[in-house]
Amino acid sequence: MNYSLLEDENYFNDLKQKVPEWKAEGERMLPNKRSVWDWIKYNIRAHAILQTYKKVTSRRFHNNRAIEYSVGTKTLLSGSVQNQDRGRRD
């Protein structure tokens, strides 16, 4: 499990809501308590993987946007410096 999820309060609130649903679903579908417990663990693991994927995707998106902004700013600044240099030569 990703340790950053353990610090995410939204993740725990989401689990608090979903575990009872998974338990009820398992009790309807499965023959014994051990199978229900395995079903709950499976869903917790799958949920953790999905949340980690969403978190990484979001972080990459924001990092890429920051890089694009940084590169764009540098390009604009270098263009304005070149324009200033041309003005001095004339």
Contact 79, 36 (CB under 8 A): no
Give residue for tokens 């700013």: 73
List, for residues 47-83, the tens digit of each pLDDT value. 999 988 888 887 666 666 666 666 656 565 565 555 5
Give CA–CA dist 64/72, Å, rounded: 12
Q: Which pLDDT score is estimated for 58?
A: 73
List, for residues 33-44, the tens digit of each pLDDT value. 999 999 999 999
Q: Which pLDDT score is estimated for 47?
A: 93
- The amino acid at residue 12 is F
Q: Which two tokens stand for residue 47?
A: 């949920």
Angle at 8 between CA 55 and CA 6, to 5 degrees: 100
Q: Which pLDDT score is estimated for 6?
A: 76
pTM: 0.63
